Structure 1
């Protein structure tokens, strides 16, 4: 098998900012992660070597922030391979002088350094389903080195503001073979286990003061924080004696049970199995890298213990999808849109079923949750489309698996969902008896995916009958009608057939903008009819049951191609609109004002490809060309993954989350679809 590898070659003459702009991410299948810049600098509050996923009320917690790394050569020369950063000063990227290559190998980060005549390799990985990180150093060739590492600590929730740590907040307990860092009892203890030749720990209890996190400053947040450090860990490394620092909040017995070398071997074997499970055309090249990237978002949520027990009692495991790293939790909408790309194209059918049945358990008032907030046990339900996407995801699951057991177990819930929408449910969501179209919205609430607010101002007011909501509504009605007919529930199916016909006729009569030759974005809204040219209309073609009459497909695809299509997805608003924003930048207010006002969203490339191939089924090669820019993007922001959003104009700078579930999922799904790959067995 070809190993998925992505290399970033480096020479000291290149601008050092290059290493600050590129990030890496490793995850543990629980929602925890390790992440940073290629340079080793802390530029975000989320950058840390161990962010553990813990039960509520904590959620994800930063435990080990950083390592300051020095090497002592055989001639007593000392070099630094990390960064020096202080308040309001430039970051000094010392390691840039010695770095020769950064690569992802099976999705795991590896740094290669040349110091004198010595080649050294550094590797970071997290064992699956453990709040543990291994940071390993080994000499490939050349002389022995003395490695000096200074761990830096700031225990806090990962999304909490940066803080000035105090020496008195922490203490260290030395045990026979490991060290334990303790702080406020609400936090777990951090175990540090150094493993290597001639290891010693020199304690000094110092501080690394006033670290400036410049991306936090750019985003309008507090950007300066300090870290506590217990001292310096030293070890000798040579070609036969590597060194590993293991940091974990797992029980010490678990850390002892498997050394880093064995843990790495098992993790690489797990990743190889992921590739083998996937569709044949997803087993090499860019698609194989995305199969590995997709794994980062599928989690066993640790914060909802009672739900885990209930799931296991029914023969399932609790599974969900992290919407994006670093700050998103599991969102219903994102999960359902991502399901095919993350779990079906990748052959992870059992987990797909677990995810669908997990969300079905949370249905309330005919709705699945919009999101599960960080560290909380209950979901929030303020969404008009996530539940309709649930029907779409279930249908794609059935296309791959024909799992009639799951379908039959969910049919009553699906009927309840439709019934609740017909009668009316929370947040003003309900079908209009006059035309059958689905309306939604309450003052001050955003229930569609375009959900940005600036304080009390709704940036994209879409209360009323939104175009993609009604495309999803029609699709859900037709899907349930089909499933009920297959199960001989003809009476309910006949009611749905009648309602869906009404929705189809009303949609085509009321949403078509004759003047502009495309679909209105919203009708019957608080502000009347919205004729903004937005990408939402593409769902009227792309879904399994298109609500738009086929005679109008070409016109819609033409306007979307000409006004919204970019190399990295679709713009959220056409450039000639007076509210168009070309860049997503600045503080929260400025960013939210641009979030859906032009900003490009990568996930929308999936529905666009679907619509294109419905109109031009013979043009798979042409459709594949719409995806070609993404290959270089995987070396641009978060190495090996796909960003959430991009600026709306050239050079289309990546923004938002550095790794987004539906961006990865829809790109992977589209790659496989345009290459005519067979479904996985």
Structure 2
């Protein structure tokens, strides 16, 4: 449980920069801030994902604004909104005495003298269905609670305004249907019909995006309450029926307690619930992984990097097996489909497929699932053959040294794939160091699976031996003074258009961290230690002329900084793997900053990125799958 008091809740510089998330297991969610202020276009109580398409989301119920009529007859609004021009009105956050996360679910408590009102919120797992319960905890007499429903129906990435038609709201028994898309239900519904113009989202302004939209006041629910009584409201999309908001909350609490029953401590429990947020029902019903909330969909690279932490560390192996089977079916020309977020399947990574080889081997090693190994092994061998022969985007094994090279105009195929105006910021054409660490690891993984099933893997071993020898010869940078090679850092890319790239980046950590990595068990160069921050390694050394310490500003500014010094918490996992054999024993110390970060921004989760400069404020998605997965994985291994 995490608790924030009035000093955080009542200060928008603190309470409105901490965000909560309640996912529904389909890619949809409820999301907002501790203070109740909507600071993003993505914030709302019902964000609906299309069935089997977690990336395609619509915002429906933006807010339920509570208004109390006290025994004295005075009315008090408990909502908090910011409007174009900077006016904050009403200022209900100043009446919040407490916000807490209990069993992974948010609770708010407002106090107006002796009157105390609590809000609880939860979603139905596997369905776009939210329940919101307002309970009067104490009052000297009866009070009337009104909940004003502010709605829209628009793409989660966009806006809707009063220049166009308002959302169609049709009242029916117990509530209303909005745009024939979602339903509201609760007591004493009274239709509204008014635009709330100029709702302002300060985080969108900070990201250089349009920050204003208009919200439609659809109507309101109300009830006269005595202490201990509650007003329940539900909202849902699809063909479902009302369940009772209190029942929704209690079921969610019970489910979350079952997920964390064997957690070792509060941090472990928080990470398990954070991990659960990313596992969703994908296409054809197979499990999939949302890369990050609130704006990402499902990406193969992120999923495979996250696989161990999300599925093996948690024991969700059955779900993981079905995910791996579904992804194996997407293999084409030796490549794994990366994403279908754009509406069409895209094959656009050089590393995602190699991470898939790693994930399959880790699964089989952890579960002894030889049936899965037997089913997918032909596809894995085709991956090797296609890389040797050559596949899309110039991805191929160089016959001169057995290492994987890649690159094509206008594309960035490694995980450092940011582009500005269509031009890659870090194209890394040639032979990226982590790609070849993954290639060597993948050859060993497939060889091990083949031998486990009684096959001959001698050809795979020969490929790996040659690539490993070439790796040692090609990537080590000599110390200019001594000519010593053993503890020297590695080139980030070799055989690129401009030669070998000596940039000090964390990509080389994979050579030490992967279980069959070419440098596994040898000391990590001291030069890499300077990359580490409380939230993980920087993506570029601070003394590099291209280093950018702030990941902020317009979309172009952020993309230019994305891999040029920005901190990536997921790399803490490879960092700990790399150093634990030779240079470090107290691994928990390396996780202390991330553990504290759990309560700093995306409450109970780990952010996608952070500034390279101190104090390393979180950036990108506040809730990111591979950041959570790698933290959970290494914490459970080394904790």
State the TM-score, normalized to the length of structure 1.
0.90
1:12–1:96: 8 Å Cα contact kept in structure 2?
no
State the TM-score, normalized to the length of structure 2.
0.95
Q: 2:31 aligns with which of 27, 31, 35?
A: 35
Return the offset for 1:260.
Answer: 2.2
Equivalents in 1 of 2:248, 2:200: separation in Å?
Answer: 34
Q: 1:580 aligns with which of 535, 544, 547?
A: 547
Are the structure 2 counterparts of residues 167 and 228 from structure 1 closer, same or farther at C-alpha, using a change threshold of 3 Å? farther
Q: Which runs of 5+ in 1 are unaligned?
A: 183-187, 309-316, 676-681
Q: Which runs of 5+ in 2 are unaligned?
A: 481-487
Q: Which residue number in structure 2 is paired with residue 231 of structure 1?
A: 219
Q: Which residue number in structure 2 is paired with residue 362 of structure 1?
A: 330
Q: Which residue number in structure 2 is paired with residue 506 of structure 1?
A: 470
1:12–1:98: 8 Å Cα contact kept in structure 2?
no
Equivalents in 1 of 2:8, 2:479: separation in Å?
Answer: 58
Q: Which residue number in structure 1 is paired with residue 485 of structure 2?
A: none
1:16–1:93: 8 Å Cα contact kept in structure 2?
no
Q: Which residue number in structure 2 is paired with residue 333 of structure 1?
A: 301
Are the structure 2 counterparts of residues 423 and 383 from structure 1 closer, same or farther at C-alpha, using a change threshold of 3 Å? same
Equivalents in 2 of 1:38, 1:583: separation in Å?
Answer: 25
Equivalents in 1 of 2:399, 2:472: separation in Å?
Answer: 17
Deviations 1:26-59 (A, max 9, x none): 1000000111112222211111111111148892
Q: Which residue number in structure 2 is paired with residue 422 of structure 1?
A: 388
Map 1:43-442 → 2, pairs under 5 A: 43-55=39-51, 59-92=56-89, 94-143=91-140, 144-160=142-158, 162-165=159-162, 168-182=165-179, 188-194=180-186, 199-251=187-239, 254-256=240-242, 258-276=243-261, 280=262, 282-301=263-282, 304=283, 308=284, 317-373=285-341, 376=343, 378-442=344-408
Are the structure 2 counterparts of residues 651 and 154 from structure 1 closer, same or farther at C-alpha, using a change threshold of 3 Å? same
Equivalents in 2 of 1:13, 1:449: separation in Å?
Answer: 37
- What SS does the aligned partner of 1:600 have? coil
In terms of mean alpha carbon deviation, does 466-475 or 58-67 score higher? 58-67
Return the offset for 1:77.
Answer: 1.6
In terms of mean alpha carbon deviation, does 595-604 or 513-522 score higher? 513-522
- What SS does the aligned partner of 1:628 have? helix
Q: Which residue number in structure 1 is paired with residue 13 of structure 2?
A: 17
Deviations 1:323-376 (A, max 9, x none): 0001110010110111111111111110111111111111111111222215x3
Return the offset for 1:157.
Answer: 1.2
Are the structure 2 counterparts of residues 201 and 87 from structure 1 closer, same or farther at C-alpha, using a change threshold of 3 Å? same
Equivalents in 2 of 1:630, 1:238: separation in Å?
Answer: 43
Equivalents in 1 of 2:450, 2:7: separation in Å?
Answer: 63
Are the structure 2 counterparts of residues 488 and 177 from structure 1 closer, same or farther at C-alpha, using a change threshold of 3 Å? same
Return the offset for 1:12.
Answer: 8.1
Task: Compute the RMSD of aligned alpha carbons.
Answer: 1.8
2:509–2:578: 8 Å Cα contact kept in structure 1?
yes
Equivalents in 2 of 1:56, 1:667: separation in Å?
Answer: 28
- What SS does the aligned partner of 1:230 have? strand
Residues matched between the structures, number: 630
- What SS does the aligned partner of 2:146 have? strand
1:274–1:292: 8 Å Cα contact kept in structure 2?
yes
2:311–2:320: 8 Å Cα contact kept in structure 1?
yes
2:514–2:520: 8 Å Cα contact kept in structure 1?
no
Equivalents in 2 of 1:13, 1:267: separation in Å?
Answer: 24
Map 1:546-557 → 2, pairs under 5 A: 546-548=517-519, 553-556=522-525
Q: Which residue number in structure 2 is paired with residue 678 of structure 1?
A: none
Q: Which residue number in structure 2 is paired with residue 455 of structure 1?
A: 421
Return the offset for 1:93.
Answer: 6.2
Matched, 1:635 2:606: no
Are the structure 2 counterparts of residues 488 and 130 from structure 1 closer, same or farther at C-alpha, using a change threshold of 3 Å? same
Runs of 4+ in 1 over 6 A off after TM superposition: none
